[in-house]
A = this chain, B = another copy of it.
Amino acid sequence: MEQIAKLLRQYHAENPFPAAPANLYEPCEYILELGGKRLRPAILLLAARLYQDDPSPALPAAWAVELFHNFSLLHDDIMDAAPLRRGKPTVHTRWNLNTGILSGDAMLIHAYQHLARTGDDATQRRLQSIFSRTALEVCEGQQMDMDFETAEHVAIDTYIRMIELKTAVLLGCALQMGALATGAPESDAQHLYEFGRLAGIAFQIQDDLLDTYGDPEKFGKQVGGDILQNKKTFLVLTALENASAEDADALQKLLQTDASAGPEKVNAVRAIFDRNQVPERTAAAKQAYETQAFAHLDAVQLPEARKASLKAFVEALFVREY
């Protein structure tokens, strides 16, 4: 993993944004330096290393995925009116709305420029197709997420589709592109895509669970944030579909209280979750996606030893105790 982190740091250092116009590119550099974990490019390079010891031919594609991810964070922060990201002011807060929009646009185009450096002409065309399809799906997922805010009823399946589009497909795309960049057969690359997509759904369900049930010391952020923001999470939708009419009613009412509500609201919602087996149901759903995900990794036609690093990396992202 240290080799991969080093490759990414080098590539970034060797490929800075242009110096001018400073008001366009400084915010791009700023958000990249907010301490993201470079998860997506790392996973892309791990997939590349399945087929070739040196993953560097996949580096431009890895960086493209990181730039795309940061573009989406930048614009999402505007749409969510988020003042902070990782404890620092968001771009539109530190600069302004226009800067947030335009710097995001420039990052998206930069992502395409880096992607364009990867692979021979035929591989390049394949990567372009995967990348654009995924980028569009991420936008569609963000739109669904915004639509949910005003929707009266959201079905669990629709919620799963939203998190699949908004976050999971980009993991699948990263794995698939990394593999194709170093000569993977299409069938393996497809299994890797499914591995990433399904693991991505499992991670998002896990995130929902941790937000309410995570150990604050391990989790590192305020427990109950989703509840206070009245978010329609997997937990809430599971409760609404499975709870008694009385509990479902009570939950609906709690979800209409405003942001000034405090820990007593979190406790009341948790009590409803607890007596309707919501954490158990959620953990089971997460587990089901996780199991499906690893079955696709198993189906990749390579020796187990070759897949060990990637497998260990993804397994470590799953939290076993909370």
Chain A contact residues, CB within 8 Å of chain B: 20-21, 23-24, 75, 78-79, 97-98, 101-102, 104-106, 108-110, 112-113, 116, 121-122, 124-125, 128-129, 132-133, 135-136, 139-140, 142-144, 146-147
The quantity of this chain's copies bound in the complex is: 2
Query: Given known contacts A124-B125, A125-B121, A147-B21, is B112 in contact with A142 (CB within 8 Å)?
Result: no
- Name the prevailing secondary structure of the A interface residues: helix
**Are A102 and B75 touching (Cβ within 8 A)?**
yes
Query: When chains A and B are docked, how far (Å) is the Cα of A74 from the Cα of B98?
Result: 13
Chain B residues within an 8 Å CB radius of A135: 109, 112
Chain B residues within an 8 Å CB radius of A20: 140
Chain B residues within an 8 Å CB radius of A125: 116, 121, 124-125
Query: When chains A and B are docked, how far (Å) is the Cα of A143 from the Cα of B143?
Result: 27
Chain B residues within an 8 Å CB radius of A23: 143, 146-147
Chain B residues within an 8 Å CB radius of A112: 112, 128, 132, 135
Chain B residues within an 8 Å CB radius of A101: 75, 78-79, 101
Query: What's the least CB distance linking A225 to chain B, in Å?
Result: 21
Residue of B nearest to A24 (CB): B143
Chain B residues within an 8 Å CB radius of A133: 113
Query: When chains A and B are docked, how far (Å) is the Cα of A98 from the Cα of B102?
Result: 14
